[in-house]
Amino acid sequence: MSATDPSVRPDLPVGSDPPVGSDPPSVQAGAPGAGPDSLSALVGSPIALRAALDDAGYLADDGLATALFCAARLPQPLLLEGEAGVGKTEAAKALAGVVDTPLIRLQCYEGIDAAEALYEWNFPRQLLAIRAAEAAGSRLAETDLFTRDYLIGRPLLRAVDHPGPRPAVLLIDEIDRADDEFEAFLFELLAEGSVTIPELGTLRAAHPPIVVLTSNRTRDLHDALKRRCLYHWIDYPDLERTTAIIRRRVPGAAEPLAHQVAAAVRRLRTLDVQKPPGVAEAINWVLALDLLGARALDETAAAATLGSVLKYREDIEAIEEKGMTWLAGPR
Ligand SMILES: Nc1ncnc2c1ncn2[C@@H]1O[C@H](COP(=O)(O)OP(=O)(O)O)[C@@H](O)[C@H]1O
Ligand SMILES: [Mg+2]
């Protein structure tokens, strides 16, 4: 994409969606000019979004559906917090599916920086251009070398660059793994829907991305980041919902098995285990049990598959001591 691309122009807000932080737009479904493929039609209300997520295989409760609706339609970044494996990442993926837009994912880690998150200059390409110019007897000025042609776009830039027609979903996953300076680095994008590249200036998105940040809460995030975001805590789903999620993800599994595993996972969480199992572990457990031909969770099946649900030797030993009858539960 060149610097003259109409979808991203330095310092010029283009497109109909105002950037994050400006006056909130109207959120009426079916507003004039909103076609059937528009964001407002696809994400018409929290109830409609919940139903669409359900169709896409993701079961959200009203609170999460409302949070995702507001994130998409205000738009305002949404910070999803919760224990590992409760469905934070999947919520962003499912939202992108419903909006029928690319999911652009930035996986955070300790030490992540702008070069990984936003952009990098393509030095080999710049060097080649310099050599080619020299061979032709000319010289390239610095301004010729620091243009979009020599830029490698990383997830944040790709999200801002997204040409539409609907905004991309930008998933900034596990922000708690990044250093806290990286949080500050995100402020411009979160508050303005823009990014700044010193050599090129400020690039403002034609379609500001729908931003979902997730955190497993391994550390507290700064108030300054939270101030810029909507917040939603995803709790472990209750027994009924866990069973429904398992049945959705493992359609072939017997219904009693799904229910028993959901109950057993809840039982495990009452113990002081190092890694309490989330929805992900419940699904994997049922997959393993189903593969082994189990129609119900009994002591033998539970003992054979503990590694699907517990990931620490000490946790496994603690459960073995407690007994498989306790784990498998009443039948
Ligand atoms: N509400 C839900 N509906 C459907 N699947 C879910 C739900 N919550 C979690 N899952 C499933 O559980 C697994 C773990 O979810 P994930 O989003 O990776 O968790 P987290 O990001 O919170 O650690 C995924 O396979 C996902 O499909
Ligand atoms: Mg995740």
Among all ligands shown, which has an atom nearest to the Cα of 279? Answer: 1
At residue 187, what is the residue type? F
C-beta 58 within 6 A of ligand 1: yes
C-beta 246 within 6 A of ligand 1: no
Among all ligands shown, which has an atom nearest to the Cα of 278? Answer: 1
Please, is 76 exposed, middle or buried when counting C-beta atoms within 10 Å of its C-beta (0-12, 13-18, 19+)?
A: buried
Under DSSP, the state recorded for 190 is H
C-beta 280 within 6 A of ligand 1: yes
Tens of pLDDT, residue by residue over 61-87, are: 999 999 999 999 999 999 999 999 999
Q: What SS3 state is found at 176?
A: helix
Among all ligands shown, which has an atom nearest to the Cα of 233? Answer: 1
Residue with CA at minimum distance from ligand 1 atom 12: 280
C-beta 289 within 6 A of ligand 1: no
252 to 101, 305, 307: CA distances (angstroms) = 30, 18, 21
Q: Ligand 1 center to residue 96 CA distance, Å?
A: 15
Q: Ligand 1 center to residue 83 CA distance, Å?
A: 11
Tens of pLDDT, residue by residue over 115-150, are: 899 999 999 999 999 999 999 999 888 889 999 999
Burial of 265-275, coded b for 16+ CB within 10 Å and e otherwise, reads bbebeeeebee
Tens of pLDDT, residue by residue over 167-212, are: 999 999 999 999 989 999 999 999 999 999 999 999 999 999 999 9
Task: Identify the band that residue 19 occupies on the pLDDT scale cut at 50, 70 and 90.
Answer: very low
Among all ligands shown, which has an atom nearest to the Cα of 243? Answer: 1
**Residue 83 Cα: closest atom of ligand 1:** 22
C-beta 85 within 6 A of ligand 1: yes
- What is the rounded average pLDDT of the residues 24-42? 63
At residue 192, what is the residue type? E
pTM beyond 0.75? yes
| CA nearest to 197, candidates 159, 263, 153 | 153
Residue with CA at minimum distance from ligand 1 atom 27: 90
| CA nearest to 169, candidates 234, 114, 100 | 100
**Residue 237 Cα: closest atom of ligand 1:** 1
Among all ligands shown, which has an atom nearest to the Cα of 249? Answer: 1
Pocket test for ligand 1, best of 90, 215, 308 (most atoms within 8 A of CB): 90
Higher pLDDT, 330 or 269: 269
Under DSSP, the state recorded for 308 is G
Tokens of 281: 């572990």
Under DSSP, the state recorded for 177 is G
Task: Identify the band that residue 24 occupies on the pLDDT scale cut at 50, 70 and 90.
Answer: very low
DSSP 53-69: HHHTT----HHHHHHHH
**Residue 234 Cα: closest atom of ligand 1:** 22
C-beta 112 within 6 A of ligand 1: no
Task: Identify the band that residue 255 occupies on the pLDDT scale cut at 50, 70 and 90.
Answer: confident
**Residue 282 Cα: closest atom of ligand 1:** 12
Q: What is the mean pLDDT of the chain?
A: 88
Residue with CA at minimum distance from ligand 1 atom 5: 58
Contacts of 91 (CB under 8 A, 6+ apart): 58, 60, 64, 68, 80, 212, 234
**Check: CATH 3.30.1490.100 for 8-118+154-233?**
no
Q: Ligand 1 center to residue 91 CA distance, Å?
A: 7
